[in-house]
Structure formats: C-alpha cells, structure tokens
Amino acid sequence: MNSSKSTLKFISILLLSIFLASCSTVKHVIVEKPSDTKNKKIFIQQKRVFNLETMGVKLSNKFDAARLNNVEKINDTLIAVSIYPENAPINYSPHYAFKIWSKTPKTTYVQFKYPKGYKHRYVPKLKTRETDWAPISNENVFLLDSMYTIKLALTKEPLTVAAQEIITSTDTKNWYSALINSNTNLAHYKTIGKSVLGRTIPMLDLYVGDPKEKDIVVLLTRQHPPEISGFIAFQSFLETIFEDTKLSKDFFSKYRVLVFPIVNPDGVDMGHWRHNANGIDLNRDWAFYRQPEVKAVTKAIVKTAKKSKGKVVLNVDFHSTQEDLYYTSHTIKGTTIPNFYDDWFGAIDATFPNYTPNEIRDDSTQPVSKGWFLRYFKATAVTYEVGDETPRYFVKAKAKVAAIEMMKILNNR
C-alpha cells in the first residue's frame, strides 16, 4: 500500500513538473537576420567627483543613471566632458548625466567630447533641487571648434545636466507602486526574474475578476535606457487605463493587461547608452532569449497565456527616436486585430488634426519585440516611438488619447 501511494505520488509530481515545464517553455522564433546576443565586454565608468581646483568647479557622476567618463579643464571658463558608450558597436544615442557646481557663482562653458564616429544627439535638460527638469535655452547652446557647447550659470547648489530627464529603476518602482495602490483590485504585482546584476524585473498583471480565457494586451518599455520620452508616454497610457471610468471598466471586463515597466533596469541605473549589463541590445534578443531580461519577459507572457488559456492579441512597445512615429507590420491578414492600425491611428489623428506622425510598415527581419509578438502569437504589434524633444505635455496628451482609443477599439471587437 505504501509503495503504491509512493508510486502515485511520484507520478503526480512528474506529471505536474512536465505540465509546468510545458507552460513555461518559450520556443525560439526564426528570423532572417538573427543578432549575436551573446555576452560582450562592457566599459564600466568610474564613479567619482572630478575636482577642478583652479576653477573652483566640481562635477560628479556618483548617482544612478549618471554618465560622465572624464573631465578636462580647457581654460579658466571652459570645461570638456568626455562621454563614452558602454561598448561598441552601438546605436547613435549618446547618453550623459552629471552634476556640476562651483564654490562661487560663475559662468562656465561645457563642451561635449565623444569617441570618433559619434555626435551629440540630446538637447541638455537641467534640474536643481528646487526646480523641475527643463531643456536648456537655445541661446545657451552653440558650436565651439565644431563641438557642441553649452553655457551654464553655476552656484554652490549642484546643477544636474542630463541628456533626458533622469528616471531610475527606483523612481520607476515608486511610480508603479503608487499606481498599484490606487487600484489594488485591478493590479497584481509579480517579480518575474532578475537582471544580469540582480535587479528586479517587475510585471504588473492587470485584470478584474477571473482572468481565465481573457484576451491579453502586453505593454512594455525601457529596453533602451535613455528613451525617456517613450517612457513618459507609457506612463500616461497606463495611468489612463487605470482610471475609474466606464470605458476602463468595460475594457477590463473583457481583457487582461500584462505590463513590463522597466525591462532593462541595469542599463538604466548604469547610465548606458543602449545596452544591458552584458553589453547587449535587448531589442535584438527576441529570438533566442540569451539575456535574462528578455528571457524573463517572454517566459512570463507565454506562461501566463498558456495557464489562463488567454490569447495575446496586442502589444505596444514604447521607445524614443528623433521624431514621433509608429513601426507597424505589413503582415495584417491573419493577425488578431487586422484593422487595428488604421482604426487606431485614424482616431488619434482625428483628435490632433494638425498632427500626423509617420507610420512605417516593415516586417522586421531582426529579432525585435514587435516581430516576436507577430510570429509567436500572430498578435498585432506596434513600436510606439516618441521624439526625443517632443514637448512633454503633448507626449502625455497623445498617449492618453491613444489609450482611450485602444480601449474603444478593443471593446467593440
């Protein structure tokens, strides 16, 4: 009898293990141009305070998301700051962030130096302890010896100069924690894995009632650390679907939303231009999942969909580039929501009649997230790109409309 019970128990455990394994297995997808996403060596910046004693000026990169590799005094009023990427080759997105202050009030010029082949991209954003982030005035930006140079009024109060507003992994956690607390019946928090350096990869699982067999929408962002305008759009989008409205209630009566608010926390906090702590562009790893961050995200999506028997129907991945645009797919026939692109962009454009961003349809041959959702689930997918310097009030306003119109379209399916 005891032997039979033991045998049955063993078989039950074995079957359960096989079931759980099958639920969490993520098949590789075939792409025409797979990327080499095996680990690569990175250059880790030295965290320090740079003391230019003869000028009475100090600079620091001793904070999360900082990027400052070297400082050089050119003359009594001019400083050169060197900004290097974490490794190369790398996308043209030179991120920088540092604090600068002076013993006595003075005007100081700061010149940006990059490795050969790279040039300045982001308009500097400035912040003090007493002020919010604001772009530097055009009158304080010019070229000096063909190098991007800014004019700063320094005091003993540190001034933060950054490529984009700084939003660290801690800032992100504080934001989504407050959002969860605003509607605990809707949001269910999960840790789905760890980054290369052990930082948490969070997922917000949004549903009301029983999530079983509900169609699934996936939202994600911060694969690339400096893409802050895209993250600001993501925040507004998510906050909108959290609102206690009839539209939102109707939406969550039918749908479940999986949210990944920071896919690359190491890159964010290390001040990387683009890559994770293994020196890899995470948005080129959506085929073999060699990096732990992409592996955790894809595994969570597949496991959730299988367990609940829900169908993944839509993905929106928020990024930033030089202008507002949408990357979509030529492959519309046979996808989950074949008319979504035209209906969604048409509704957004109608709300802002003098604004029509480019839509670029491409069935990417690279292993990016958009292609993964299309290949793996036949899901409609959009890479929602926001211009680096698009006014932040408009970034938020457009994302709010985008969320509203998405819910309307999906509610009417």
- Rounded distance between C-alpha atoms, residue 57 and residue 50, angstroms: 8
The predicted pLDDT at position 193 comes to 98
The predicted pLDDT at position 230 comes to 98
Sheet of 159-162, strand order: 49-52, 57-60, 97-102, 159-162, 125-127, 134-135
The predicted pLDDT at position 331 comes to 86
The predicted pLDDT at position 153 comes to 98
The predicted pLDDT at position 16 comes to 39
Q: H-type helices in 25-112, by residue range?
A: none
Count the alpha carbons within 13 Å of 264 in the hemisphere toward its beta carbon. 30
Residue 89 phi, psi dihedral angles, 5° rounding? -70, 155
DSSP tag of 124: P
For the chain, give percent helix, strand, coil, nearest 5.
30, 25, 45
| Blockwise average pLDDT, block size 10, the chain, 413 residues | 49 42 73 93 97 98 98 98 98 97 98 96 97 97 96 98 98 98 95 98 98 98 98 98 97 98 98 98 98 98 98 98 95 90 96 92 89 96 98 98 98 95
Q: Please name the residues in contact with 41: beta carbons below 8 A apart, sequence gap of 6 or more.
A: 87, 279
The pTM assigned to this predicted structure is 0.93
Sheet of 200-206, strand order: 187-194, 200-206, 255-260, 215-221, 312-321, 380-387, 325-328, 358-361
Ordered by where they begin, the domains of the chain are 49-162 (2.60.40.3120), 167-411 (3.40.630.10)
The predicted pLDDT at position 6 comes to 52
Concatenating the DSSP letter of every residue in 166-212 gives ---HHHHHHHHHHHHHH-TTTEEEEEEEE-TTS-EEEEEEE-SS--T
Q: Which whole-number Å values give the CA distances from 206 to 19, 31, 127, 277, in the listed order?
A: 25, 31, 34, 29
The predicted pLDDT at position 32 comes to 85
User: Parallel, antiparallel, or unpaired: how do β-strands 57-60 and 49-52 relate?
Assistant: antiparallel
